[in-house]
Chain A
Amino acid sequence: DAKTTQPTSMDCAEGRAANLPCNHSTISGNEYVYWYRQIHSQGPQYIIHGLKNNETNEMASLIITEDRKSSTLILPHATLRDTAVYYCIVRVAAGGTSYGKLTFGQGTILTVHP
């Protein structure tokens, strides 16, 4: 799976948009970008994923650059409950032998402050 690079930590003011970047310059054409977050003492929570196009759901938006070498997760109105470790993961599409396992890096610690 392609390696991802994320900032170690970020801060955001409550009510503001949180923009979390991820670099995946070695991504292949059949690999998906997945975002998970993990709040202390809980399991990772799925947020969103995409292949080529930008995606939006009730939690967040995912912006993928045209060359697919980087992406940004956007939390439009951050709240204190969004404080967590955010993981950007590149995952091989169907046909690979990895069976879709997730390879987690260190992630970005997002702290939302009042």
Chain B
Amino acid sequence: GAGVSQSPRYKVAKRGQDVALRCDPISGHVSLFWYQQALGQGPEFLTYFQNEAQLDKSGLPSDRFFAERPEGSVSTLKIQRTQQEDSAVYLCASSLSGQVSQPQHFGDGTRLSIL
């Protein structure tokens, strides 16, 4: 496919479980971003990768959140010991380069529900 692909589309987990969310960016895109969107709100930045390097993780809400992109393509966002407040849509976006003149292209997100 030509766009950003995220899986799973929906994830339900019990409080305290660990979850892993996957993002397949557009082929050849150097930059990759993760955002969190709470119900009724705009997306909020979590973390940024340039190739395999995580250059900004200032938006991660706690040390329970961890992201990686080991080979500079696919990225995984992991949440350990999930809490109810982690329920949200997690969005991934990629762009061709790190230049801010290059638009970010988003996937349709993973809707995470913590029971």
Contact = CB atoms under 8 A, between A and B. Distances in A.
Interface of A: 32, 34, 41-46, 49, 51, 87, 91-94, 96, 98-107
A92 B108 contact: no
Contacts, number: 67
Interface of B: 4, 31, 33, 35, 41-45, 48, 50, 55-56, 59, 91, 93, 95, 98-109
A99 B101 contact: no
Contact of A43 (B48, B59, B98, B107): B107
Contact of A34 (B48, B91, B103): B103
Contact of A49 (B50, B98, B103, B109): B103
A46 B56 contact: no
B31 A100 contact: yes
26 contacts: A32-B100, A34-B103, A43-B91, A43-B106, A43-B107, A43-B109, A44-B91, A46-B104, A49-B101, A49-B103, A93-B101, A94-B99, A99-B31, A99-B56, A100-B48, A100-B95, A100-B98, A100-B102, A100-B104, A101-B59, A102-B43, A102-B93, A102-B104, A104-B42, A106-B41, A107-B42
B75 to A, nearest CB: 15
B101 A94 contact: yes
A34 B102 CA distance: 10
A105 B41 CA distance: 8
Contact of A99 (B41, B55, B103, B107): B55
Nearest to A34: B103
A103 B45 contact: yes
A43 B100 contact: no
Nearest to B33: A101
Given A101-B33, A102-B43, A43 B108 contact: yes
A32 to B, nearest CB: 6
Contacts of A42: 108
Contacts of B106: 43-46
